[in-house]
Amino acid sequence: MAEQDELAGRRENTDAVPPGTPNSGENLCRRCGGTGEIDGADCPDCRGTGKVLTPVGGAG
């Protein structure tokens, strides 16, 4: 289980889409679990916000 947790911290947020993508909305960042931090530093995927934009209804 510890290995899974370690690997989860290294994964990219593959669901994230660029700002301005039609039919996208805020979602919790999967990489940091919405905390905005990994190992005491800002999460590189959400830049410390805990949120990312993801497709809604087939966008992206």
Write out pLDDT tens, residues 12-52.
777 788 888 888 889 999 899 999 999 999 999 999 999 99
CA 44 distance to own-chain centroid: 9
Residue 58 CB partners (closer than 8 Å, separation 6+): 23
Its pTM surpasses 0.75: no
DSSP 8-class letter at 31 = T
Six-digit token pair at 22?
């039609």
Confidence of residue 58 (pLDDT cuts 50, 70, 90): low
Q: What is the pLDDT of residue 14?
A: 77
Confirm if 33 and 21 have CB atoms less than 8 A apart. no
